């Protein structure tokens, strides 16, 4: 299904722009709630000149498909994991490196500072304009038949990953077999034993109901992959300077709002899956970090990426 941004005449003679946003998450997810707020704020800030129309739950396709719709101008905005975006803007793969960030505070300092802005701009040459970062917490492994206490427990296990070279390299370094499957097809793939497990953050694990088939959740917190709010450059270039300011203001408000909601939803999700019988494991992270050290070694031959990694590590 293709949709396009529309210009609708207002009774006052002003042009009213409807911005169409598609994403893959459930309507109860903090990101969707933040987008609803963004739409309300945008309408208020712009005096009704700009409004947002939201299509959640993969109504318009997977994250990759939504990015492709942005590139051809058939969709205005979307939200994708940076792990998917790296296939379109390769430098962004740096944010998917395991154990790159010391903690959440370090992650936000990088994303909200000059490095984060530089990376948002990376997509423009690929017709994708990064607007902001939503919190997507830390990703950890969940499995069906056995718990993951050490990296060795992943040996031979088929683990669902996003279409991300970085994620696939990480799972291979742990000894697992990375298997890219779209998010919408994962529940069935788990049920049918196509994969032995997956990796994601607590709210996604909970809202997807994957806890119904995966009874072990190992909080190794290997990556802190943010979600990225992206506009197509066709939309961005069609907006006036004033309209861009309105949209940016609404985005910034929604980012702050979503990060507060996220912190609450993480706690609620962990409590809910435990109540449903999931064993939550908190393994020693050091052995996991050691297993993926070769990924960083490989980047030392790429001067530009190595400099980016060092700049991130040195951010205080």
- Write the CATH number for 308: 3.40.190.170
CA atoms of 73 and 75, how far apart (whole Å): 6
Do both 220 and 308 map to the same domain? yes
Do both 125 and 147 map to the same domain? no
Q: Is the pLDDT of residue 7 over 80?
A: no
DSSP string, the chain: -----EEEE-TTS-EEEEEEEE--S-TTSHHHHHHHHHHHHHHHHTTTSEEEEEE-TTTT--HHHHHHHHHTTS-SEEEEEHHHHTTTSGGGGGGGSTT-SSSHHHHHHHHTSHHHHHHHGGGGGGTEEEEEEE----EEEEESSS--SSGGGGTT-EEEE-S-HHHHHHHHHTT-EEEE--GGGHHHHHHTTS-SEEEE-HHHHHHTTGGGT--EEEEEEEE-PPEEEEEEHHHHHHS-HHHHHHHHHHHHHHHHHHHHHHHHHHHHHHHHHHHTT-EEE---SHHHHHHTHHHHHHHTT-HHHHHHHHHHHT--
Q: What is the mean pLDDT of the chain?
A: 94
CA atoms of 296 and 195, how far apart (whole Å): 27
Do both 240 and 149 map to the same domain? no
Do both 124 and 91 map to the same domain? yes
Average pLDDT over residues 103-121: 97
Is residue 115 within 8 Å of residue 102, measured between CB atoms? Answer: no
Tens of pLDDT, residue by residue over 229-279, are 999 999 999 999 999 999 999 999 999 999 999 999 999 999 999 999 999
Band of residue 14 on the pLDDT scale cut at 50, 70, 90: low
Residue 201 lies in a domain: yes
Q: Is the pLDDT of residue 2 over 50?
A: no
Residue 144 lies in a domain: yes
Number of residues that make up the chain: 316
Residue 12 lies in a domain: yes
The closest alpha carbon to 128, from 55, 66, 177, 50, belongs to: 66
* N- to C-terminal Cα separation, the chain: 45
Q: What residues make up the domain containing 276?
A: 139-224+268-313
Tens of pLDDT, residue by residue over 275-305, are 999 999 999 999 999 999 999 998 999 999 9
Do both 168 and 274 map to the same domain? yes
Say which range, 9-18, 128-137, 144-153, 166-175, has the weakest mean pLDDT: 9-18
Do both 169 and 23 map to the same domain? no
For the chain, give the percent of residues with pLDDT over 70: 96
CA atoms of 300 and 99, how far apart (whole Å): 16
Residue 170 lies in a domain: yes
Which position has the higher pLDDT, 8 or 166?
Answer: 166
Residue 219 lies in a domain: yes
Average pLDDT over residues 94-115: 96
Q: Is the pLDDT of residue 3 over 90?
A: no
Do both 129 and 233 map to the same domain? yes
Q: Is the pLDDT of residue 100 over 80?
A: yes
Q: Is the pLDDT of residue 8 over 50?
A: no
Q: What is the pLDDT of residue 10?
A: 45
Backbone angles phi, psi at 16, to 5 degrees: -105, 120
Residue 242 lies in a domain: yes
The closest alpha carbon to 130, from 17, 33, 226, 260, belongs to: 226
Structural domain count, the chain: 2
Do both 258 and 109 map to the same domain? yes
The closest alpha carbon to 58, from 131, 1, 127, 123, belongs to: 1
Residue 1 lies in a domain: no
Q: What is the pLDDT of residue 15?
A: 79
Average pLDDT over residues 65-83: 96
- Residue 121, both tokens: 């701009």
Do both 109 and 255 map to the same domain? yes
Do both 57 and 68 map to the same domain? yes
Do both 83 and 168 map to the same domain? no
Average pLDDT over residues 127-146: 97
Do both 29 and 173 map to the same domain? no
């Amino acid at each position: 299904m293709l949709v396009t941004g529309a210009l609708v005449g207002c009774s006052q003679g002003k042009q009213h722009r409807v911005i169409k946003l598609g994403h893959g998450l459930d309507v109860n997810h903090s990101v969707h709630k933040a987008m609803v707020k963004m739409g309300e704020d945008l309408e208020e800030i712009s005096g009704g000149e700009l409004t947002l129309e939201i299509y959640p739950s993969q109504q318009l396709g997977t994250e990759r498909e939504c990015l492709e719709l942005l590139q051809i101008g058939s969709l205005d905005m979307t939200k994708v994991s940076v792990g998917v975006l790296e296939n379109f803007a390769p430098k962004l793969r740096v944010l998917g490196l395991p154990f790159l960030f010391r903690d959440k505070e370090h992650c936000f300092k990088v994303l909200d500072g000059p490095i984060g802005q530089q990376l948002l701009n990376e997509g423009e040459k690929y017709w994708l304009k990064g607007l902001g970062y939503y919190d997507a917490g830390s990703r950890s492994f969940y499995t069906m038949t056995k718990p993951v206490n050490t990296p060795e427990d992943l040996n031979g296990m088929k683990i669902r990953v996003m279409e991300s070279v970085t994620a696939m390299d990480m799972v291979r370094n742990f000894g697992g077999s990375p298997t890219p499957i779209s998010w919408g097809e994962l529940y069935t793939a788990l049920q049918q034993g196509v994969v032995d497990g997956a990796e994601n953050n607590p709210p996604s694990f909970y809202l997807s109901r994957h806890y119904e088939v995966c009874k072990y959740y190992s909080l190794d917190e290997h990556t802190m992959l943010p979600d990225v709010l992206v506009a197509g450059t066709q939309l961005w270039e069609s907006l006036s300077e004033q309209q861009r300011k309105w949209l940016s203001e609404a985005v910034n408000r929604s980012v702050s709002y979503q990060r507060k909601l996220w912190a609450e939803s993480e706690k609620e999700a962990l409590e809910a899956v435990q109540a449903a019988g999931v064993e939550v494991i908190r393994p020693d992270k050091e052995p996991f970090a050691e297993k993926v050290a070769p990924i960083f070694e490989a980047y030392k031959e790429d001067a530009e990426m190595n400099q980016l990694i060092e700049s991130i590590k040195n951010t205080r």
